[in-house]
């Protein structure tokens, strides 16, 4: 131990009691912990503001934003908190569409005069089990429904009088 270290230590600790030394040691630990937290927060703020300040709308954009923040050095938990997405949503992997083949067949069948019920009747053997509700939902999602014709007004030849001819006439 050098002479300077000895005198520095003596000036700092001589005359202190054990309780004061314990309190000083605890304050040093707390100070180190606060410095570490400050450094992490500064890193987070720099990382978030370092990219362009943007608003993440929708889960896919939030996932991408959280991924960028993680690549910049943030933990998954903090990146998800900054972006505003739950970690379970961040880890979510979308399953493939089980109705892809059915959608294609419905598009092929969509012709005037063929509705979702007829399509269901023809396809239920190929895609068993197949409910009408499922076919109807996909039929609507794909926009295969034809517009219903407006019924024409049946003209009877009688016209509505513009002026009452007797009491309770019009």
Long-range pairs, 64-68, Cβ under 8 A, ≥24: 66/90
pLDDT band at 53 (very low <50, low <70, confident <90, very high): very low
Give dist(CA 113, CA 60) in Å, integer.
40
Mean pLDDT score, 53-61: 74
The reported pLDDT for the residue numbered 3 is 84
Helices 100-109 and 132-141, packing angle to 10 deg: 70
pLDDT digits (tens, 9 = 90+) for 112-130: 888 889 999 988 888 888 8
Listed range (52-56, 65-69, 130-134, 163-167) with the worst mean pLDDT: 52-56
How do the domains of the chain map onto residue ranges?
A: 15-91, 100-141
Which pLDDT band holds residue 133 (cuts at 50, 70, 90)? very high
CA distance 40 to 79: 12
pLDDT at 36 over 60: yes
d(Cα 145, Cα 109) in Å, to the nearest integer?
12
Structure tokens at 143: 């926009």
Mean pLDDT of the chain: 83
């Amino acid at each position: 131990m050098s002479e300077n270290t000895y005198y520095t230590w003596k000036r700092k600790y001589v005359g202190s009691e054990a309780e004061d030394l314990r309190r000083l040691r605890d304050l040093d630990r707390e100070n180190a912990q606060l410095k570490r937290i400050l450094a992490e927060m500064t890193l987070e703020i720099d990382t978030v503001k370092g990219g362009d300040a943007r608003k993440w709308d929708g889960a896919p954009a939030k996932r991408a934003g959280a991924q960028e923040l993680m690549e910049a050095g943030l933990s998954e938990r903090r990146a998800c908190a900054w972006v505003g997405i739950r970690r379970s949503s961040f880890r979510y992997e979308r399953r493939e569409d089980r109705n892809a083949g059915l959608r294609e067949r419905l598009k092929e069948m969509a012709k005037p005069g063929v509705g979702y019920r007829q399509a269901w009747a023809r396809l239920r053997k190929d895609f068993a089990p197949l409910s009408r509700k499922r076919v109807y939902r996909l039929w609507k999602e794909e926009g295969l429904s034809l517009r219903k014709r407006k019924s024409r007004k049946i003209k009877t030849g009688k016209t509505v009088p513009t002026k009452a001819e007797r009491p309770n006439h019009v």
